[in-house]
Amino acid sequence: MGHVRVGRLPKKWGWEQVISALSSESALGGEGETDFVSRAARAADRTLSDAKHQESVALAYWTFIDLAAASRSGDLLVRLREQGAQIPERPTGLTLLKLISATLERSVRAKGASSGLDEIALQTFDAVVLTTARSGSETLFGCSVESVQTAFRELSTKAGVANIGRRFFSEYTFRALRLALEKELARSLGKGGRFSTSNELARFEERLKTYCWDVSKIVQDYSGGWYSKALWEQRLTLAEAQNFTSYAIQKLLSELSREPPPL
């Protein structure tokens, strides 16, 4: 379950192709292309290595699987109250989704000063989990508590968790790599840099996002398999989720490390 090594994943672009798009002769200032790409790769490696130990990413992912599992028995509101959410007497579906986001944010902030990776975990949760739940809960009669619970229940299958798992780690990896490459992106934008306009930078980011989506294929089946087994064994805990997210990010790092140049 997730431990069997697969062959090299097919990707539209390789890591070196993605990173070398940041550089140009004038932007490098005499620095060799290989040195530039290696430096960018090391920055990405450091950031993802740090992410393995971030409790915020585990909290974000665990919040999703915990609510998905609770929705199977109709206890979504009960579970939210147990997580510390202050639910009004007659909440709407949109109110409920905002409360989920706010409760997660409060849990992350309670751990201490927030880092860039903590912010990325919160942003990823909203962009993937809540956006999917909101889309799935919209009906002709609007978004209700019942339709939100139904949306989470539909995501609570092995296949549903596998799909969200891939999307979650794809988005998280993209945002983490974007953070790691922030300095290089700043150097590459404007006169003398690789990107003369913000549109060119947006095209690079789209290439990076596609790369992260391709790489995240490696955690898709692992996400569904881990969830299914943990649900059956009744061990869907935050500690287990932290072990899962740490290993999932390690799998992503392993896939990145197979790309030339080595990280």
Would you list the DSSP string of 30-65?
T--HHHHHHHHHHHHHHHHHHHTT-HHHHHHHHHHH
Percentage of the chain beyond pLDDT 70 is 76
| Residue-level pLDDT at 9 | 42
What pLDDT does 163 receive?
A: 96
Query: In the chain, what are the domain boundaries?
Result: 15-256
Q: Block means of pLDDT (10 residues each) for the chain, length 263 residues? A: 39 60 46 58 78 90 92 83 82 89 91 83 95 83 84 93 96 88 70 68 81 90 94 91 92 72 36
**pLDDT for residue 255:** 79
Q: What are phi and psi of 243, to 5 degrees?
A: -60, -40
pLDDT for res 25: 38
Give start and end residues of each alpha helix (H) in the chain. Answer: 15-20, 25-28, 33-51, 55-71, 76-82, 93-109, 116-124, 131-137, 145-154, 158-180, 182-188, 198-215, 220-232, 238-257
CB atoms within 10 A of CB 179: 18
Q: Please choose, from the candidates 215, 176, 244, the residue with its C-alpha nearest in 3D space to the C-alpha of residue 12.
A: 215
Q: Does the N-terminal peptide bond of residue 88 adopt cis geometry, omega within 30 degrees of 0?
A: no
Q: With beta carbons less than 8 A apart as the criterion, state whether 263 and 42 touch.
A: yes
Check residue 29 and give its pLDDT.
Answer: 44
Give 88-139 pLDDT, tens digit per residue: 888 888 888 999 999 999 989 888 767 888 999 999 999 999 999 988 887 7
Q: Which of 176, 159, 153 is nearest to 64 (CA)?
A: 153
Farthest CA pair distance, the chain:
65
DSSP state for residue 73 in the 8-state scheme: T
Please give the model's pTM, rounded to 2 decimal places.
0.82
At 131, list the tokens. Answer: 């956006």
3-class state of residue 88 by DSSP? coil
